[in-house]
Amino acid sequence: MIAVQELIDQIEGYNPGSNTDRIAAAYSYGFKMHDGQTRHSGEPYFSHPVAVASLMAEQRLDDDTIITALLHDTIEDTDSTYQEVAGLFGDEVAQLVDGVTKLTNLELSSKNDKQAENFRKLLLAMSKDVRVILVKLGDRLHNMRTIRHMRDEKQVQKANETMDIFAPLAGRMGMQWMREELEDLSFRVLNPEGRSSIIRRFLNLRKETGDVVTKITDDIEEVLYNAGVKALVIGREKKPYSIWRKMEEKKEGFSRLSDIYGFRIITGNEDDVYKVLGAVHRRWMSVPGRFKDYVSQPKSNGYRSLHTTVSGRDGKRVEIQIRTQEMHDVAETGVAAHWSYRNGERVENPFAVDPFKWLASLTERFDNEDHANDEFLEHVKLEMFADQVFCFTPKGDVIRLPRGATPIDFAYAIHTRIGSSCVGAKVDGRRVPLWTRLRNGQSIQVTTAQGQKPQSSWMDIVVTGRAKSAIRRALRADHQESQVRLGRELARVALEHVGKKATDKALDTAANRMGLAGSGELLAKIGVAEVTGADLVDVLYPELTRQTDDGIDLPPERILGLEADQFAQPADCCQPLPGERIVGIATRGKGVLVHAINCERLVAYESEPERWIDLHWSQGKRLANQKATLQVTMANDSGVLGRICTLIGEQNANISDLKITDRKQDFYRMTIDIEVRDVEHLMHVTTAIEADSDVAQCLRKNRDN
């Protein structure tokens, strides 16, 4: 365990003005509170808070953050209280410790509903003071470094949670070194064989080629010396998980990967950044499409650097990052640079961003939008964890987007109205499909059209949370509007079938009797078959339905050939109708399933002739109460659906259910349950439907197809 003086010496190394008495008092208090507690390894528990405090000191953070790290488990795991911590170390420290405690209790890897709510709490804590997250990330990093002492199943759960949440969060906050280490520690747990294989291949490569990193570092230093630029060159092999991820993304083996080495060149000023780039590109050939200028277009977390990839020694691809020392400080510590000290004073780093602005805008947007839990999770992860590309409007404005974004994402990033009415796009002056993935530096021109609406297929194209949410809202509204239109047609046909009209007054009366908010809700429910046309008639005119049920108008349909104690039920597979030859299949009880003689399901009963019963329909007038299901493919144009419903009603058939099974931009495919008298009646209905010029196909379910 790190001794108190060792920790103080570490802090005074960058902040001689630190209040070491407060640090020592916090160390002593934490040691006392955790006395007798041990970790899974058997070490004193307080060794963990001290290690987290040391991690905060490595990032040159302020006293309050370090004290919070020393005490971050006291309120949760000891007899300490918020009031006691506040009395001893101040309200700010108490609030920070309490914030870390609440984050520790969040189950971020739980099921979606709970995870979504916990993510909201995570964002809320971040928006109040980002130092809560810095301590929590330090807490998770030390726990992952010592995870081998946990049970196997606990290791897997923590590693998954780290890979899914904390590693991307560290990266999004600009702490790339922490992201890489968290990913690699999780990779060690989740795929130890994969990680070992990467390390073995690195060892074999060193045996074959020697220390490539040192050789390339010497080459770069020689180039800089000849260019008259003073700079620090740092070379390294990429982390095993980074290599593994590239292998998975590119579907290539280790031997075919080129950029497995990374180099950083730290210059004295911004002018030298571009001088170094010129010198490097004059000496080695740059790889097309691999240059990124994050100096003129920094990331939202303040990250600035030039990225280029060149063909270096022996044709090996080498990734080089070029930046100043101030840019490097932000790149290494991210938002922590906002609080970092040097020589006893807060560092005024011009590139360090205010971490509260991004977080405040993010939480405000989520508070103002109506997100379902799954949408919220999708949105927040995209916003927080995605790498970015920078594109330009025709006027030169910069639009930041996640990697993989499309012109539709670009359009929604400008304005929801532009996104919803997007019909095309030009990238660098050339027209491209809307599913095109955008790249850094491209200029995008969006084409809109009045009357255009978001398409359901866009959900598979866009990647930004903003676009996905807007498209979902538009589709829900459009779908509800379609349901109301369909419900109005079904209500009209159902009431006209009994000689009545679907007036606004009648619909409002029915909605009131059913306990619904109004006719709009009633029509929507009819449109999705939650309420049928028969239900509507029964509510408004119960005397008509009772008359039919009592058999006053016409006698009910009868099937001949049954025993006195048997009852028949039409088989749903073939939906037999009067006028068709039928046969019965006896069930284990007294029921008989009635099939059309040509039903394919009858093959299954060929070996059981004793179950077959010869049946036929009775003669005489028939009610239109026999079910038949049609599958109709029709053009997606206004008025077509209404005409189909009218045609069915004009043939004196009743629609009992209607569902859209496939919705495309040009055609709909739907199933329509109708009630007819017999097979001849059905033929009249299908003929009338097929005669409509906007109907591509009308088939009887399970009979014509």
Residues with a known catalytic role: 76-77
User: CA nearest 172: which of 420, 399, 316, 380?
Assistant: 380
Rounded Cα distance, 471 and 419, in Å: 9
- Phi-psi group of 604: left, alpha or beta (phi > 0 → left; psi -120 to 50 → alpha; rest → beta): alpha
Instruction: Find the Cα–Cα–Cα–Cα dihedral 549, 552, 556, 562, rounded to 10°.
Output: 100
For residue 311, what are its two tokens?
Answer: 């063909």
Contact yes or no for 666/642 (Cβ under 8 A)? no
Neighbours of 196 (CB within 10 A): 12
User: CA nearest 355: which of 93, 600, 126?
Assistant: 126
User: CA nearest 301: which of 243, 244, 349?
Assistant: 349
Cα–Cα distances in Å, from 505 out to 458, 484, 501, 508, 511?
39, 16, 10, 5, 10
Contact residues for 84 (Cβ-Cβ < 8 A; gap 6+): none
243-277: burial string, b at 16+ Cβ within 10 Å, e else? bbebbeeeeeebeeebbbbbbbbbbeeeebbebbb
Q: How would you classify the pairing of strands 261-267 and 317-324?
A: parallel
The one-letter amino acid at 406: T
Q: How would you classify the pairing of strands 430-432 and 422-427?
A: antiparallel
Instruction: Pinpoint the alpha helices (H) of 602-639.
Output: none
Q: How would you classify the pairing of strands 695-700 and 559-560?
A: unpaired
Cα–Cα distances in Å, from 166 out to 53, 110, 123, 161, 179?
18, 15, 13, 7, 8
Cα–Cα distances in Å, from 130 out to 13, 125, 327?
24, 7, 20
